Amino acid sequence: MRRAILLTAVAVTLVLLGSSDTTAATPIPGTPIQVAELDPATKIISLGDQTNFSWVVINSGPRYDISVTATASDAGFSVETYPANFTLRRDEYLIVRVNVTAPAGDTARSATIRITFSTLAPAVSSLQANRTVVARRAPATVDALAAFVAIGGINMENAGEVFAAGADSVAAATAVCRGDLAENAEKFAGLLKDIIR
């Protein structure tokens, strides 16, 4: 009965945590402990950001003491495991997370995260898993309020008012192109120099 409840609880957990990314549980050799991954093996994040990988650890046998450690192939990545040490009784399970923080900077980097699930008692054994984190520069964004361009109806008489109202630049095609193009462009450029000073 307890085993049926455990399996039902694990099934519900896997569904809730995104079963499309889960795989079959892998046993820790020589033990009744199984480890099922809940996330894809590779994650891509921005430099300086965090991500995590999750597993469910299941015990279908006697009580086991378990340790989980993680290291990164690139020392610039920080890695934290939660929980790192725990005990599972018969028919219990626990979700383990490995949090990874990518270094900040401008150069893309990647790291292999080596995770080791170790049983400490009553039998000593281990299972290793590798995950990859790729950290890239965040995509460039445009601050929509940083550049205010005034378009339409801008002429020599109102250009000063438009800049005073907060415009960073103006489009004054008609004012420049109507009549003598060279003369109008020179006058408008002179006006803009006075306004910008």
More confident residue, 73 or 165: 73
- What's CA 18's distance to the chain center, in Å? 17
Q: Report how far apart, in Å, the C-alpha atoms of 174 and of each of 27, 134, 143, 182 are.
A: 75, 50, 28, 13
Within the chain, which residue ranges are assigned CATH 2.60.40.10?
2-136
Classify burial at 30, counting beta carbons within 10 Å of its beta carbon; exposed 0-12, middle 13-18, buried 19 or more: exposed
pLDDT at 93: 95
* Coil, helix or strand at residue 163: helix
| Residue the block writes with tokens 């891509």 | 44
What CATH homologous superfamily does 2-136 map to? Immunoglobulins (2.60.40.10)
Summarize pLDDT for 128-154 with one digit per residue, the tens: 999 999 999 877 665 555 556 777 777
Cβ neighbours of residue 26 closer than 8 Å, sequence gap 6 or more: 34, 35, 36, 127
Q: What is the pTM of this model?
A: 0.62
